[in-house]
Amino acid sequence: MLSLKKSGVIRRTFRTYRHLKRYRQILSIFIKYGFEDLLEILNIDQYLELGLKILTRKSPQKVDSFSRSERVRMAIEELGPTFIKLGQVLSTRQDLVPEDLIKELVKLQDEVPPFEYSQVVETIENELGSHPDELFLFFEDVPIASASIGQVHKAQLLDGREVAIKVQRPAIKELMETDIEIMLHLSELMERHIEEVAIHKPMEIIEEFSRTLFREIDYQIEASNNERMTRLFTGDTTMYIPKVYRDMSTKRVLTMEFIDGIKISEIGRLEMAGLDRKLITKRGADIVLKQVFNHGFFHADPHPGNIFVLPNNVICLLDFGMVCTVNREMREDFVDLLDSLIHLDDEKTTKMLLKLTIWEEKPDMDRLNKDVAEFIGQHLYKSIKDIDFESAITQLLEMGLNHRLRTKPDIFLMLKAFSTIESVTLMLDPDFDMLTHCVPFFERVKLSRFMPQRLAGEVFKFSGETYNFLKYFPAEVLEVTRLFKNNQLSLNLELPALETVMLSVDRISNRIVFAIIIAALIIGSAIIVFAKTPPVVFGISVIGLAGFCFAAALGFWVIISMLKKHKL
């Protein structure tokens, strides 16, 4: 897997030279859709001068009739699967992306033309060791679904069981590794040059996206997620998860039980099959709430294409490539936030908002309290069933952003799951009240803190930690004292801004060196001209004249470089 350890801009820039062809392709698409201004702001010339010199700057296509948000979406679609995945992730981040751009990003489709059947055969032979004709009674060469990472084929095992085979696209991992490395470089430049973007920590966003993406393209991880969810819901007759055939699965091939159900969005087919839409709605909401609040392990991408309905109103979940795990403390904090909103407690809401977000310096508490109180007054002084949950959460996140509060990724995935399932339930049953349905789950989470076994466990944990502290603390104090006495204790300081300062010093020192070299050339050339060192033309030494010309060229280049960066 691609290493995500942070390094300096220069080091990351050198890594991007390995992918210069792809980098030029990405920059060409930016230019094609009219984003030359972004490239200038990022000062890419400073890091990839060769890349831009050989970049063919054709006249951009006529994009004036499209809005900037539309052009962003069109560029992402042309950039390929990695950027499409990123766009889909950002379409759920109301705290990062303006509303007009979100409306465009939600249009991104993860459906692409299928790849050749010969490549499917090659992948299966490499991964499973045999031709599909030897492994299956039949294997449909036309896929039943095709996405950016892989495609799905229907097949039948030798014992007659029907299966769905997910086969990964050839070289998709290598392409995504290249794109992620370029994204990291671009995000690093954004942090350095665009103040409005820097507060969102784009490098951290790309690193988190990368971790999620590389887990998603490892089908063995998806198989493990599938089996874990199956164990958690053992005995629950309202939910079904297809079986994974481990002996026929690898990192690039996943063999699962074939599900012949009805997509939850196909309302007409549900009614024709005589299924109960209200019961399906209730069960779907219960499944999501159980995943989040009972188990802390939930499907992080429950869109309608991943939810099927089986006979007897049984819900079937597919595609566990994207899941999220949240610990008990975070679940309880999340419940406390929602509970404080429902009970119109602005002080507690402010407290929980600070606890569930990331911030570098504490915001103005008076102003934050006032904004939270205004938010509650605007959205929550009404009956629970009339609250627009998605709109309220979006505005709450925007308010937090105004105070430089960044939402934790896990919290966002929970909000995304709730928002998605709410939209699905409203599609099935417009009268369904999602928030009211959540309240009993909130109450159980709050009461669980006072369960005897929970309290006993915390007492034992505290006792053990106290015992270890009393046991080891005196010895550690003596050790620190000994190190002080022997002058063996050193203090390491980390200065986040030091790298920027060092780069500035490097640039200044480089200019000083160039100035010294130019001065030396001028002086040396003057001496040579004065001494009339041969060869001489028209009484002027050719070597001296060449020295003057070279010094003038260097000086001109330094001045142009400084003017381009607006730092004369």
What pLDDT, on the 0 to 100 scale, is given for residue 499?
A: 64
More confident residue, 272 or 387: 272
**Average pLDDT score over residue span 254-274:** 92
Q: Angle at CA 162, nearest 5°, toward 159 and 168?
A: 115
**Average pLDDT score over residue span 30-59:** 66
Least confident of 276-280, 330-334, 458-462: 458-462
Residues of the chain with pLDDT > 90, as a percent, come to: 23
Place of tokens 């309608």: 304
The answer to whether 308 touches 232, Cβ cutoff 8 Å, is no
Encoded tokens for 279: 């019961």
Highest mean pLDDT, choosing among 10-14, 51-55, 200-204, 468-472: 200-204
Distance CA 533, CA 516 (A): 23
Give the type of residue at 396. L
In this predicted model, what pLDDT tens digit does every residue of 202-241 receive, in sequence order? Answer: 888 888 888 888 888 999 999 999 999 999 999 999 999 9
- Scored b (16 or more CB within 10 A) or e, 467-479 reads eeeeeeeeeeeee
* pLDDT tier at 16, thresholds 50, 70, 90: low
Highest mean pLDDT, choosing among 145-149, 409-413, 564-568: 145-149
More confident residue, 298 or 61: 298
- Averaged pLDDT score across all residues of the chain: 81
Highest mean pLDDT, choosing among 173-177, 310-314, 342-346, 412-416: 310-314
In DSSP notation, 277-340 reads HHHHHHHHHHHHHIIIIIISEEES---GGGEEEEGGGEEEE---SSEEE--HHHHHHHHHHHHH
**Average pLDDT score over residue span 395-416:** 80
More confident residue, 5 or 258: 258
What pLDDT, on the 0 to 100 scale, is given for residue 209?
A: 86
Q: What CA–CA distances, in Å, run from 430 to 235, 274, 279, 390, 405?
A: 30, 19, 13, 15, 34
What pLDDT, on the 0 to 100 scale, is given for residue 18?
A: 61
Distance CA 112, CA 77 (A): 10
Distance CA 59, CA 41 (A): 20
Residue 251 is given by DSSP the state: S
What pLDDT, on the 0 to 100 scale, is given for residue 56?
A: 47
Phi, psi of 67 (to 5 degrees): -70, 165
Distance CA 168, CA 180 (A): 18
In this predicted model, what pLDDT tens digit does every residue of 380-400 receive, in sequence order? Answer: 777 666 677 667 777 777 788
Burial of 369 per CB tally in 10 Å (0-12, 13-18, 19+): middle
* pLDDT tier at 5, thresholds 50, 70, 90: very low
What pLDDT, on the 0 to 100 scale, is given for residue 238?
A: 94
**Average pLDDT score over residue span 31-38:** 83
* pLDDT tier at 7, thresholds 50, 70, 90: very low
What pLDDT, on the 0 to 100 scale, is given for residue 157?
A: 95
What pLDDT, on the 0 to 100 scale, is given for residue 84?
A: 87
Encoded tokens for 113: 């033309």
Does the annotation mark 301 as catalytic? yes
Whether the predicted pLDDT of 1 surpasses 70: no
More confident residue, 407 or 75: 75
The answer to whether 99 touches 398, Cβ cutoff 8 Å, is no
Closest among 130, 163, 152, 180 to 23, alpha carbons compared: 180
Give the type of residue at 430. P
* Residue 531 CB coordination number (10 Å): 10
Distance CA 461, CA 467 (A): 10
Residues of the chain with pLDDT > 70, as a percent, come to: 86
Candidates 95, 179, 218, 301; catalytic one: 301
Encoded tokens for 194: 């665009």
More confident residue, 188 or 450: 188
Residue 162 is inside which H or E element, if any? strand 162-168
Encoded tokens for 220: 């063995």
- Where do the H-state alpha helices sit in 80-234? 81-90, 99-105, 117-128, 132-135, 172-193, 195-198, 202-216, 219-232
What pLDDT, on the 0 to 100 scale, is given for residue 537?
A: 75
In this predicted model, what pLDDT tens digit does every residue of 344-374 receive, in sequence order? Answer: 888 888 888 888 888 878 888 889 889 888 8
The answer to whether 158 touches 173, Cβ cutoff 8 Å, is no
The answer to whether 218 touches 203, Cβ cutoff 8 Å, is no
* pLDDT tier at 492, thresholds 50, 70, 90: low
In DSSP notation, 46-115 reads HH-HHHHHSS--PPPPS-TTS-HHHHHHHHHHHH-HHHHHHHHHHTT-TTTS-HHHHHHHTT---B-PPP
More confident residue, 471 or 293: 293
What pLDDT, on the 0 to 100 scale, is given for residue 498?
A: 60
Distance CA 497, CA 55 (A): 33
Least confident of 123-127, 436-440, 473-477, 487-491: 487-491
More confident residue, 513 or 319: 319
Phi-psi region of 268 (alpha: psi -120 to 50; beta: other; left: phi over 0): alpha
Distance CA 432, CA 389 (A): 13
What pLDDT, on the 0 to 100 scale, is given for residue 128?
A: 94
What pLDDT, on the 0 to 100 scale, is given for residue 363?
A: 86
Distance CA 463, CA 27 (A): 59
Whether the predicted pLDDT of 424 surpasses 80: yes
Distance CA 510, CA 523 (A): 20
Whether the predicted pLDDT of 15 surpasses 70: no
In this predicted model, what pLDDT tens digit does every residue of 522-556 receive, in sequence order? Answer: 887 778 777 777 787 777 777 777 877 887 887 77
Distance CA 140, CA 120 (A): 11
Q: What CA–CA distances, in Å, run from 186 to 82, 90, 202, 218?
A: 14, 16, 9, 26
What pLDDT, on the 0 to 100 scale, is given for residue 257?
A: 95
What pLDDT, on the 0 to 100 scale, is given for residue 2?
A: 45
Least confident of 183-192, 227-236, 491-500: 491-500
Whether the predicted pLDDT of 4 surpasses 50: no
